[in-house]
Amino acid sequence: MIPDLTHKLDRVFNPKVIAVIGDKKANGYSWLKSLAHFTGKLYSVQIDENEMPGIVEMGVTNVKSLMDIPEPVDFVVCAVPRKVLPRVLEDCIRKEVGGVTAFTSGFAETDEEGKRMQQQIAERANAAGLPLIDPNCMGIFRPKLGIRHGVDQYYGETGPVGVIAQSGGQATFITTGARANGLRTSKSVSFGNAAVLEAADFLEYLGQDEETRAIAMYIEGVRDGRRFFRTLRQVAPRKPVIIWRGGQTEDGARAARSHTGSLASSMAIWDAVARQCGAIRADTLDDVLDYLKAMVFIKPSTGDRVGLISMSGGQAVVTADAFARVGLRVPALTERSYAELASFFNVIGGSYRNPLDVSWNFNSTDLAQRLLGILQADENIDAVSMEFGVGAMQRRWRRDPAFAEGLLNYLVRYKEESPKPFFITLFPGKWEAEALEIREKLQERGIATYPSFQRSANAYRRLVDYYRAHAREA
């Protein structure tokens, strides 16, 4: 294990100087372009004279050796061939750089020679105490400082989500997908074959990171299972940890061996680890994003009694089915709630059991406020979930923007002021573009939205399970 690792990773994730070794035109200078908005100083290290004009054209200072950089280097990105990597690492050790990520592939995931070379560089990095994020990976994403590993990622923003992924592709999908769902990333790392630093190292680091409130992990295998279990058990009670394990099937496991050299392990073991540690299992990218939204946007709760608002009778039935299917309850309201509903509710085309089939009763902000207020006050209800009817609502929004803004402001205020969890199902139907516009407005204001009742129910179920698991430990 690398000594003083937390301090060293602080330097890696907060660099003032970055060097990119080996970027070239054939790759579109992808690393230098990805780092074009880095807030610190960026150098290129390239000895090929043919590559230099393109690098200079981007305004990046090029040197022929890492040792030619006149100041300390905090983070190095290596994009060099496999046979060159050991020599570059020796330069990094001599230069006393803060940390290195090796995009270079062709190690344990390919052949016996690759395994031997991976072992060799791991031993050298460990002996030197060099934090090597390696090999066969995309490294770190720190949007606040403009550090990206792909031009599709954003910069200049930060948020509460930490991401740990063996796959650079999945790190990109999770971070960009999270932003599309209103969630920004604090720090993200893709660590590939995990020859030196592995999942437990980054989990321990993000577990202590004050910027990070929830952690999403994509894991194909762990090197030290006992240490991963201990670390997960320490971190999960402090902040939600969502684990998506790649290679769940025989075919998937074979793909994982070719991807990161990870060995197969039973899903039963992963399930037991997640259950014992109070972590949250995810099986797809959609799961990861849905559960992240729940953990960040929805208030903590152990209550499983849900008050539902739907826009039609049929939707009321399938909403109730979706929530009951995952073990949540949809109970009757109190007599006091029914008495208040009876005083104004138009039952033509609607009904006010639970779910409330509101139909025509949701045509003003005042009525919405009254309906949601009744559920907030009802002692039989722990959480409130509302369907947002895109078809009728988008027509009303275009006709009456003041209504739209008033309703949106009220929903945000309700979510913030109500002691009960609140979230929305935004079923798009044929209005995909309109649903996206409304979803962005809601999510940018911190309201969790889901495209189906089942995904709403699944996400809230995970939230209840998480807080129940850790309430028992408290």
Read off the pLDDT of each residue in 100-122 and give the average, rounded to a whole number: 85
In this prediction, residue 390 carries a pLDDT of 82
pLDDT at 474 over 90: no
Mean pLDDT of the chain: 92
**In the sheet where 306-310 sits, what is the strand order?**
351-352, 356-357, 306-310, 383-387, 422-425, 449-450
What's the whole-number mean pLDDT along residues 68-80?
A: 97
Please give the model's pTM, rounded to 2 decimal places: 0.93
Q: Is the dihedral of CA 54, 56, 60, 63 positive or negative?
A: positive
**Peptide bond connecting 355 to the previous residue in cis, omega within 30 degrees of 0:** yes
Which segment, 1-10, 269-278, 279-288, is predicted with the most confidence on average?
279-288
Q: Are 218 and 166 in contact (CB under 8 A)?
A: yes
Q: Nearest Cα to 291, choosing from 167, 176, 455, 472?
A: 455
- What would the pLDDT profile of 434-458 be if each residue is shown by its tens digit? 889 889 999 999 999 999 999 999 9
Give the separation between CA 82 and CA 102, rounded to whole angstroms: 10
pLDDT at 360 over 80: no
The pLDDT tens digits of the residues spanning 293-345 come to: 999 999 999 999 999 999 888 888 999 999 999 999 999 999 999 999 989 88
When pLDDT is averaged across residues 120-128 and rounded to a whole number, the result is: 94
Average pLDDT (189-197) is 92
What whole-number distance in Å separates Cα of residue 396 and Cα of residue 218? 41
Lowest mean pLDDT among 36-50, 69-83, 84-98, 380-394: 380-394
- Residue 261 tokens, joined: 């050299």
How far apart (Å, rounded) are the C-alpha atoms in residues 38 and 21?
A: 16
For the segment 362-419, what is each residue's pLDDT rounded down to a tens digit? 778 888 899 999 999 999 999 999 998 887 777 777 788 888 888 889 999 999 999 9
What pLDDT was estimated at residue 212? 98
Contacts for 174 with CB less than 8 Å, ≥ 6 apart: 163, 165, 188, 216, 218, 285, 288, 289
Question: Is the pLDDT assigned to residue 153 strictly greater than 90?
Answer: yes
Q: What is the pLDDT of residues 196-241, one digit of tens each?
A: 999 999 999 999 999 999 999 999 988 899 999 999 999 999 999 9
Confidence at residue 155, expressed as pLDDT on a 0 to 100 scale: 97
In angstroms, rounded to a whole number, what is the distance separating the alpha carbons of residues 142 and 144?
Answer: 6
Dihedral Cα 331, 336, 340, 341, nearest 10 deg:
20
Residue 394 has a pLDDT of 76
User: In the structure, what pLDDT confidence band is assigned to residue 263 with cuts at 50, 70 and 90?
Assistant: low
The percent of residues in the chain predicted with pLDDT above 70, rounded, is 97
Lowest mean pLDDT across 46-50, 104-108, 276-280, 427-431: 104-108
Which of 140-154, 348-362, 367-381 comes out lowest in average pLDDT? Answer: 348-362
Which tokens sit at 419?
Answer: 């002691």
Could you tell me the pLDDT band of residue 20, with boundaries at 50, 70 and 90? very high
Mean of the pLDDT values across residues 60-83? 96
Average pLDDT over residues 73-90: 94
